Chains A and B, each alone.
Chain A
Amino acid sequence: MANQHPAEQSVSACASNQPIIQVSHLTREVDTGEIRLTILQDINFQVDAGESIAVVGASGSGKSTLLGLLAGLDVPTRGTVFLDGTDIFKLDEDERAGLRGRLLGFMFQSFQLLPSLTALENVMLPLELSGADNTYAHDIAQSWLVRVGLEKRIRHYPRQLSGGEQQRVAIARAFVTHPKMLFADEPTGNLDAATGAQIIDLMFTINREQGTTLVLVTHDEKLSARCSRVIKLVAGRAAD
């Protein structure tokens, strides 16, 4: 779909529903001492609840920066991001962290499991950080690990798991808090094609079941085709 002004288009398309993600004039510049690099320039779009969008682009096009900004892991030079109605850059860093804990789930290319925690403990961690009761956290985490097919690997450490298994743990960890949005950064980047496909299937399945809004950063065309919408970045600008 061709959208020079995606924001406007989305607003008109979903006027009745408030979008769960609303990005306006998002710009990120970096000072490298002498020159000012623009990594993202004037990005505008909206995502409705339950939608799945893919952010694609070549290496260095600003995909990861966009994801970081959407999740409030970084702050923009200009522009706003509303997540579930909240202007996240009006919050301070701690409030953003709290918001992440409530609303967001993450999957990363390098899995980012804590090496000193078992699979179960990795999944329990978000619940524990939100102050959940230990037994509750344990039971929920365990059921999620069963759900992603790792019932036999619960007590294993990340280093004892294969890449595919690690990413399954990451899926369980991402969904254990029932987030409204799942941000996935090249989730298959470190996996072989077959394993990657399994992981993606699992992710999309659970995503559908949970009605989660998915923002997927990838450079895999096939993968992006499975999303309802694609935002293509070229040198920091939204193309197409």
Chain B
Amino acid sequence: MLTDLKTALRPAIVLSGLFAALLGIAYPLALTGLGQLLFPHQANGSLIRDGGRVIGSELIGQKFTSDAYFHGRPSAAGADGYDASASAGSNLGPASKALVERVKADMNAMAATGQGRAVPVDLVTTSGSGLDPDISPEAAFYQVDRIARARGLPKDVVRDLVKSEQDNPLLDFLGEPRVNVLALNRALDRMAPVR
């Protein structure tokens, strides 16, 4: 036993150091170099710029409260939601009073803006990350009336815009039909800027 321990000492210490250098330093640095060289846009967070100013990431959801924008899902990331330095889900169980009351409140708020009662479930549930960039097409269509009214646009035009921004699954079953909320709202701004 003692000789086993003694013979283990040098390899354990030396290999720990060598592997730390290889796997903890050289490997991530080499990939950072390759990533920055080959795919600089993605490697830096798929950022969207508007005249040099960063306005967000293609992959990260943002908080929308204005009636003139499509809203994303409720978010449990950070105190106000959509905090991209504090990703989190609500972690509420299905029979949790807090969950049911939150959903009830959100649905009442939607009913108040005249959007009908049968709400697509993704619009009143938080995502796993709190940063979900997407909503289902149903959740986007559900908001068309409100947007059309706020922007003074015909409903059909808004509906067509949603359809044109819809992403469909790969090979029909890999992924879900969805709409990126930030991309949709930017398209909306380009089409009919809010005065």
Do A and B form a real pair?
no
Residue ranges of A at the interface with B (Cβ–Cβ < 8 Å): none
Interface residues of B (CB under 8 A from A): none
